[in-house]
Amino acid sequence: MDLTTPLAKVLRTREEYIDALRVLHVQTVEDLLLYLPRAHEDLSQMHTLQSAPVGAKVSIRGVVEGLKLIRTRSRKQFVRAVMTDENGDQAELIWFNQPHIVRMLSNGEEVVCTGKVTLKGRKLQIQSPQFESSGVGGVHDLLHAGRLVPLYPQYEIITSKWLREKIVLVQDAIGLLQETLPEEVLQEEGLIGRSEAVRWLHFPSEPAQVQRARDRMEFEEMYRVQKEALERKKEWQGEVQNRLKVPMDIELIRAFFASLRFTPTGSQKVAIYEILKDMEKGKSMSRLLEGDVGSGKTLVATAVMANVIRHGGQCALMVPTEVLAKQHAQSIGQTLISFHKYLKAQKGKLTMRHPTVALLTGSVPKNDADDVRMRLANGSIDLIIGTHALIQESVQFKDLTLVIVDEQHRFGVLQRQKLKEKGSPHFLSMTATPIPRTLALTAFGHHDLSVLLEKPGNRKPIDTKVVPPTGRKEVELFIDHQIDQGRQAFVICPLITGSEHEEMAEIKSVQQEAARLTESFPRRRIAILHGKMTPAEKEETMRTFKDCNSDILVSTSVIEVGIDVPNASIMIIEGSERFGLSQLHQFRGRVGRGDHKSYCFLFTTTPEQSRSQRLKAMEKHHDGFKLAEIDLQIRGPGELYGFRQSGIPEYRQSGLMNPELVVRARRAAEKFLSSVK
């Protein structure tokens, strides 16, 4: 038997178990050994029936007698036996609907039973206890009791008990496991070897071994993630290119700030400096700009683009939707043109050519799109703004220097590769999803990180209230009054259309809610927006709403990204319990963009959900990063960012919530990679 031996050749078990393991990607001896426990249960102390606490899970050694299968008049069946412990005390053992127990146990057999001891009248009883032969060597031969018992991630018929019984059969192969961490990393971090860690997790003799083994495996996982991220970053950056050396023009940036009607925040100034400093090096920048809703990421991007255009480079801004592309083309284009006019009016040494801004999306007419592509290729367009249409093969640039992508999570590895083929430009990702620093270093470790912690201007906090179904009438009267005052409202629903599934019947859909609101607000103009509409339909709906020609916009989560309607002051979210806090916070950020006091109402499907600790956090906190941390603690990183998979041990996720571990792993990976150049 070696590590590559298929489990079907090693384990005497039914094919259905092998099939279930295959779903978990556990097919060889090595896979099974690396299927690690999620936790351990301390059953090392053996009890007698007299010392066992009632209601607690304990292990007791005794002799089984009176084993009998009993069938009731209602055709139910159970197995009954009596166990006598070493003191002569007795307890009744009951197994419901497990007739096979009579074949697995024998009268007079000495076993160790593990379960909860309860009182039934004046008798002690243990229902459905696990059991195993006490063995010649006593507790040291026990698998399910008398020790720190490993608990494994379970899947269908694959139980912890079954896994313990199978892993012990292949334990001799643990010593064959290859070490994955460099020796110098092991020494510097004070970590145990890989095979020792795996042995201690499956067969620990004391809690300290479990902790040291978990520390080792958590570090290994984070080290692997960080090493791969740094290698991707190195590959992206490639060699130094003189054309990518863009000088940081401090006087230009000062003039840009002076041309604005407000003063940028300290965070914005720091982020601009970090980005421009990267771009002076001549290697492709790879940076993530994280900023809460309303923190001013677009201004940072615009300042950086002005510096690139000043030095003759081309910029591309890619966004997820056509609506947002047009909004940016108008606002950023206007800001750059106003800055150009400001410089001309100053009549100083600072000059910048008149910036040429163009739009390229799927709905741009073919003749216009062909003209844009031609002008990009000859260099007469300085800034192109669009959707993923920008990375098509037909789009070529004369000197693409900077690419900015809005909403990093919608932009994958393949798109980055297509960008690399266009000259490995500087790459800046922007996201309004507040990602705790540990997760940012892990999920986006191939980027350097800039964070905007402040918000420009004096934005008023948005009053937020979690509302149970019984509170709807009062809230709708308030909304009607607000619309009378000239305000507008967003309504977010989880679904587009109603579901036929019974468990989904209570969840609001755009079409059903729009019909209901038409009855509840007969004097109001209701519009709908969802992902199945054509780009032209979506744009017309948004334009109508922005121009105040509709009062209530009922939408799916398509509204989440970047849409700016200053007159909208009310956000209603139906089925709010179905959304993460970061997404709820982004929805809330769609209002509060004008001069009016704004409100957010989180409706729940049931009264119980309205008392949720998670949703109540929205009432107390307006900081997206704080909410992301709370969501991380309550829901875990897997639920938040899609890491959770069936059968993945929890230690891999617990490492994500340990900032010190992530930083240590990144430092170790950086040091190792620099030593092997």
Task: State yes or no: pLDDT of 346 exceeds 70.
Answer: yes
Contact 435, 443 (CB under 8 A): yes
Same domain for 548 and 524, yes or no, is yes
In a domain, 582, yes or no: yes
pLDDT at 648: 38
Q: How far apart (Å, rounded) are the C-alpha atoms in residues 55 and 116?
A: 5
Kind plus residue range of the DSSP H or E element containing 85: strand 77-85
Q: Which of 29-43, 197-211, 226-240, 337-351 has the lowest mean pLDDT?
A: 226-240
Task: State yes or no: pLDDT of 411 exceeds 60.
Answer: no
Cα dihedral 160→164→167→168 (10° resolution): 180
Domain count, the chain: 3
- pLDDT averaged over the chain? 85
Q: Which of 113-127, 262-276, 554-568 has the lowest mean pLDDT?
A: 554-568
Same domain for 547 and 608, yes or no, is yes
Q: Which of 92-106, 307-321, 400-414 has the lowest mean pLDDT?
A: 400-414
pLDDT at 293: 75
Contact 426, 419 (CB under 8 A): no
Same domain for 394 and 472, yes or no, is no
Same domain for 282 and 411, yes or no, is yes
pLDDT at 636: 59
Give the residue numbers spanning the domain of 87: 45-146
Same domain for 421 and 508, yes or no, is no
Same domain for 441 and 493, yes or no, is no
In a domain, 265, yes or no: yes
Nearest to 356 by CA among 398, 416, 406, 299: 398
* Residue where one domain finishes, among candidates 87, 115, 146: 146
For residue 85, the domain's CATH number is 2.40.50.140
Same domain for 580 and 448, yes or no, is no
pLDDT at 450: 85
**Rounded percentage of the chain residues whose pLDDT exceeds 90:** 48
In a domain, 554, yes or no: yes
Same domain for 399 and 280, yes or no, is yes
Q: How far apart (Å, rounded) are the C-alpha atoms in residues 138 and 282?
A: 69
Q: Binning pLDDT at 50, 70 and 90, where does residue 410 land? A: low
Same domain for 135 and 107, yes or no, is yes
Q: What is the per-residue pLDDT across 192-220, written as a single tens digit (0 to 9) for each?
A: 999 999 999 999 999 999 999 999 999 99
pLDDT at 498: 56
At 554, give phi and psi (nearest 5°).
-95, 125
Q: What is the per-residue pLDDT across 470-520, written as a single tens digit (0 to 9) for each?
A: 999 999 999 999 999 999 999 998 887 655 444 444 677 888 899 999 998
Dihedral class, residue 189 (left if φ above 0, else alpha if ψ from -120 to 50, else beta): alpha
| Segment 120-134 mean pLDDT | 87
| Segment 255-260 mean pLDDT | 93
In a domain, 288, yes or no: yes
User: What 3-state DSSP class applies to 411?
Assistant: coil
Q: Between residues 439 and 322, which one has the greater pLDDT? A: 322
Same domain for 427 and 486, yes or no, is no
Q: Which of 50-54, 120-124, 298-302, 408-412 has the lowest mean pLDDT?
A: 408-412
Residues whose CB falls within 8 Å of the CB of residue 410, separated by 6 or more in sequence, listed in order: 320
In a domain, 591, yes or no: yes
Contact 536, 363 (CB under 8 A): yes
Task: State yes or no: pLDDT of 645 exceeds 90.
Answer: no
* CA R_g for the chain: 32
Q: Which of 74-78, 202-206, 442-446, 503-507 has the lowest mean pLDDT?
A: 503-507
pLDDT at 270: 94
| Segment 305-327 mean pLDDT | 90
pLDDT at 641: 43
In a domain, 473, yes or no: yes
Task: State yes or no: pLDDT of 441 exceeds 80.
Answer: no
Contact 42, 23 (CB under 8 A): no
What is the residue-wise DSSP string for 361-381? -TTS-HHHHHHHHHHHHHT--
* Residue where one domain finishes, among candidates 420, 452, 484: 452
Contact 647, 24 (CB under 8 A): yes
Sign of CA dihedral 636, 641, 643, 647: positive
pLDDT at 438: 59
**Rounded percentage of the chain residues whose pLDDT exceeds 70:** 89
Task: State yes or no: pLDDT of 112 exceeds 50.
Answer: yes
Instruction: Please tell me the pTM assigned to this model.
Output: 0.65
In a domain, 156, yes or no: no
Give whole-number Cα distances, 54 to 91, 125, 194, 294, in Å: 12, 10, 40, 57
pLDDT at 376: 94
Q: How far apart (Å, rounded) are the C-alpha atoms in residues 426 and 233?
A: 12
Q: What is the per-residue pLDDT across 449-462, written as a single tens digit (0 to 9) for each?
A: 888 877 776 667 89
Cβ neighbours, 10 Å, residue 463: 12
For residue 474, the domain's CATH number is 3.40.50.300
Same domain for 494 and 426, yes or no, is no
Contact 306, 601 (CB under 8 A): no
Q: Between residues 306 and 654, which one has the greater pLDDT? A: 306
| Segment 553-558 mean pLDDT | 86
pLDDT at 167: 95
pLDDT at 413: 61
Same domain for 407 and 477, yes or no, is no
pLDDT at 120: 87
In a domain, 162, yes or no: no
* Residue where one domain finishes, among candidates 393, 424, 452: 452
Task: State yes or no: pLDDT of 264 exceeds 80.
Answer: yes
